[in-house]
A and B are shown apart, each in its own frame.
Chain A
Amino acid sequence: MIAALLSLALLAKVPAGMVPIPAGAYHPLFAMRNAPTRVAAFAVDRAPVTRGEFLIFVRANPAWRRSAIKPSLAGASYLSDWPSDLDAGNRTSRDQPVRNVSWFAARAYCAARGKRLPTTDEWEYVAAADEKRRDATSDPAFIQRLIAMYTNHRGGFRNVYGVDDLHADGWEWTADFNSAMSAMSAGDSMARGDGAHGGHHDLGCAGAAFGAADPSNYPAFLRSTVRAGLTRQSATSHLGFRCAM
């Protein structure tokens, strides 16, 4: 009852287009099953940031236009799927999630909106949900469904919190996507068979399954591998973001 009231209170405060997420806990891929990670209440965008929304941002912030971007802030493929600096394509394209955006650009966008990128813990916590359950990850049917979505690039759904398309065709930036990898080499984590929580582990051998709380959670492995391979300048064709606060 109190929780419900708190949710309502939070609901009243979140800006349009955002969804309140109640506090809770989840099981990171590389943590002990009996030691869930606590996640405080926050709010997250219902949908990924679209090209059209990002276009508004680059109009207002010329330094983030494709032709003006500093190489230290984004790789050469930054917004490479746009016809030009201030052309994000036709209306259909503009409604698509923005792609080829670096972590720096995503962070700047969220900051301009008074928001921030979600942490990996926050993102994974919300992404564990299906339409009816907050944590569906122990259901093989849910895992199987995500595998199909990740490989066939189809689908997408609104989860129990009301968040859309976390697993649709693409990956999303998180604030601390690479924090663990910067602190240790892949080889170190492989030798120890562990990895800091936040989804980082060795990506280059079958031993990567050691230390995983749930070795059958292939979607979590895929996300974790993607994150660990990124740099803050990476801008790839299946990588977008949404904001949190």
Chain B
Amino acid sequence: MPVAVHESAHTVKRAAVAAALVSLALLGTATLTSCTRADAAESRGSIPVRTPSDPIEGQEVAVLTDAPNVPPPITRTHATKVIVNLDIIEKTVQIADSVEYNVWTFGGSVPGKFIRVREGDLVEIHLKNAAGNTMPHNIDLHAVTGPGGGAKVSMVLPGSESIFRFTAMNPGLFIYHCATSPVPMHMANGMYGMILVQPKDGLPKVDREYYVMQSEYYTTGKFGEHGLQTLDMEKGIEERPTYVVFNGAVGAIAGAKALQAKVGERVRLFVGDAGPNLTSSFHVIGEIFDNVYGEGGTVATQHNVQTTLIPAGGSTIVEFGVEQPGDLMIVDHSIFRAFNQGALGMIHVTGPDNARIYAGVKGLGVKGE
């Protein structure tokens, strides 16, 4: 839990709960593992065996967004039933200038829709496979507790719908993906997205939240080769991607499509690495991550971080205050990927310049020189 950075009165309450638990433990009678309350689960060293117990009040349809947008924070304070309508769409998209690829998508784009629910919610996934599609598909959400993460019960043929539900017991930022055989092909063709299970106490308030997903394409043509491309199996097996991109295409969050921020704002990036193969050395040039929620968990595990590692099939949450105007480049700092394979994004920051923070003094890059 983001206790260290939490700004609300909950901190006080949480401290009290923790203190109470410690006293219980000192009495020698408490078995924390038998306690199913989330608060207990977070106390140090406990391994909770969870049983959903929050009453489910009402029902709502999840707001889903395409990258780089993130659904608004959930403000309700109770668990509810959340309907998630995910449409699987097979379509041709541009993954770079004049480079087409027949992607398979959750919701019509790569990466798939961002889903946001609250810890304790009963989530019902409605997976519709469009009638014109050619492949069966399913979904494995890493937020699901149970065999296959949903894959076992969500297989759906073109023209049909599958429905399954799960309780989002563990908060955190989770990858979801198609897990239909052959899985690497379904993933390499774009079938991945993210689900945020927002902790009950919420996340610290920020001014902007963005959704960034790193992933690879393995194409039969070389980087930049025009025309319709196909998955190159050999490159996939050898882990030699043709493209490494943020949000599904070269330049998807650069130039006119750059992420936006203003000086003085606090920014949170929900970053996933869909792979299928590579881990990411995630870095923003000219910025330092004030908080990193390592591996997409709920604790700010580190502060003042330059580059954070994201495993394939994993995520991270980074937060930073924006102090200086200009373009901040988002890269995988395995830097050939940024320079030669497309792993380059941008945050365009506007606002007043502060020469005390950053200023050229002399040299080729200094104005008026």
| B 211-244 binary contact with A (CB < 8 Å = 1; else 0) | 0000000001000000010111110010000000
Q: Which of A88-96, A120-128, A226-234 forms part of the interface with chain B?
A: A226-234
Whether the pair A147, B131 counts as a contact (CB closer than 8 A) is no
The interface size bin for chain B is 20 to 34
On chain A, the residues within 8 Å of B158 by CB distance are: 236-238
Task: Tell me, rounded to whole Å, the shortest Cβ–Cβ distance linking B345 to chain A.
Answer: 27
Contact with B along A192-232 (1 / 0, CB 8 A): 00000000011111101100000010100110111001100
Q: Output the nearest chain B residue to A215 by Cβ-Cβ distance.
A: B182
Given A204-B148, A218-B185, A229-B155, A153–B233 Cβ distance below 8 Å? Answer: no
Is A160 at the interface (CB under 8 A from chain B)?
no
Distance in Å: Cβ of A190 to nearest Cβ of chain B: 8
Beta-carbon contact of B231 and A147 below 8 Å: yes
In the complex, the chain A residue whose C-beta lies closest to that of B234 is A140
Contact present for B181 and A224 (CB under 8 Å): yes
A210 to chain B, nearest CB (A): 11
CB of B45 within 8 Å of the partner chain? no
Contact of A205 among B133, B151, B230, B231 (CB under 8 A): B151
Q: Is the CB of A222 within 8 A of B135?
A: yes
User: Is A225 touching B233 in the complex (CB atoms < 8 A)?
Assistant: no
If A186-B152, A204-B152, A208-B181 touch, does A144 touch B233 (CB 8 Å cutoff)?
Answer: yes
Known A-B contacts A152-B102, A152-B228, A204-B179; the reply to A143 vs B185 at CB < 8 A is no
Interface string of B127-170 (1 = CB under 8 A from A): 00001111110101000000110011011111100000000000
Q: How far is the CB of A199 from chain B (nearest CB, A)?
A: 11
Answer whether residue A36 sits at the interface, using C-beta atoms and an 8 A cutoff: no
Partner pick for B147 among A144, A169, A187, A234, CB 8 A cutoff: A187
Q: Of the candidates A171, A204, A208, which one forms a contact with B182 in the assembled complex, judged by CB atoms under 8 Å apart?
A: A208
Q: What's the minimum C-beta distance from A191 to chain B, rounded to whole angstroms?
A: 9
Q: Does B305 contact A (CB under 8 A)?
A: no
A50 interfacial contact with B, CB 8 Å: no
A203 / chain B contacts, CB cutoff of 8 Å: 136, 138, 155, 180-181
Across the interface, which residues of A come within 8 angstroms of B183, CB to CB? 205-206, 208
How distant is A146 from chain B, measured CB to nearest CB, in Å? 10
Please tell me if A34 contacts chain B, counting CB pairs below 8 Å. no
Bound complex: CA of A226 vs CA of B186, how far in Å? 13
Interface residues of B in 96-151 (CB under 8 A from A): 102, 131-136, 138, 140, 147-148, 151
Which chain B residues border A150 with CB–CB below 8 Å?
Answer: 134
For residue A179, CB closer than 8 A to chain B, the reply is: no
Q: Is the CB of A147 within 8 A of B185?
A: yes
Residues in A whose Cβ lies below 8 Å from that of B180: 203-204, 225
B181 to chain A, nearest CB (A): 4
- Asked if A204 meets B155 with Cβ closer than 8 Å, knowing A151-B102, A218-B185, the reply is yes
Provide the bound-state CA to CA distance between A237 and B160, in Å. 12
CB pair B136–A237 under 8 Å, yes or no, is no
Contacts known (A147-B231, A216-B233, A234-B157); A205 close to B135, Cβ less than 8 A: no
- Report the separation of the CA atoms of residues A234 and B225 in the bound assembly, to the nearest whole angstrom: 39
The answer on a CB contact under 8 Å between A237 and B132 is yes
Is A77 among interface residues, defined by CB-CB distance under 8 A?
A: yes
CA distance in complex: A219, B155 (Å): 18
- Residues in A whose Cβ lies below 8 Å from that of B182: 208-209, 218, 221-222, 225
Q: Select A230's contact among B148, B151, B154, B157, beta carbons within 8 Å.
A: B157
* Per-residue contact bits, chain B 159-198, to A (CB 8 Å; 1 contact, 0 not): 1000000000000000000011111010001000000000
Q: Are A153 and B134 in contact (CB under 8 A)?
A: yes
Known: A147-B231, A151-B102. A225 touches B181 (CB 8 A): yes
Which chain B residues lie closer than 8 Å to A236 at the CB level?
131, 157-159
Interface string of B226-265 (1 = CB under 8 A from A): 0010111110010000000000000000000000000000
Other-chain residue from A75, A148, A209, A238 in contact with B134 (beta carbon distance below 8 A): A238
- Assembled-state Cα–Cα distance A196/B180 (Å): 18
CA distance A201 to B179 in the complex (A): 13
| Docked complex Cα distance between A75 and B233 (Å) | 35
A187: which of B102, B134, B152, B237 is its contact (CB, 8 Å)? B152
Q: For B140, what are the chain A residues with a Cβ–Cβ distance below 8 Å?
A: 204-205
**A residues in contact with B148, CB < 8 Å:** 204-205
Q: Which of A165-192 contact B (CB under 8 A)?
A: 169-171, 186-187
Pick 16 A–B contacts, CB within 8 A, sort by A.
Answer: A77-B131, A144-B230, A148-B230, A151-B189, A151-B230, A152-B228, A202-B181, A203-B155, A209-B182, A216-B237, A218-B233, A222-B135, A225-B135, A226-B135, A234-B157, A236-B157
Additional pairs, 17, CB under 8 Å, beyond known A144-B232, A169-B134: A151-B102, A152-B228, A170-B134, A187-B147, A204-B140, A204-B154, A204-B155, A208-B181, A208-B183, A216-B237, A218-B182, A222-B181, A225-B182, A226-B136, A229-B156, A237-B131, A238-B134
Residues of B that sit less than 8 Å from A by CB:
102, 131-136, 138, 140, 147-148, 151-152, 154-159, 179-183, 185, 189, 220, 228, 230-234, 237
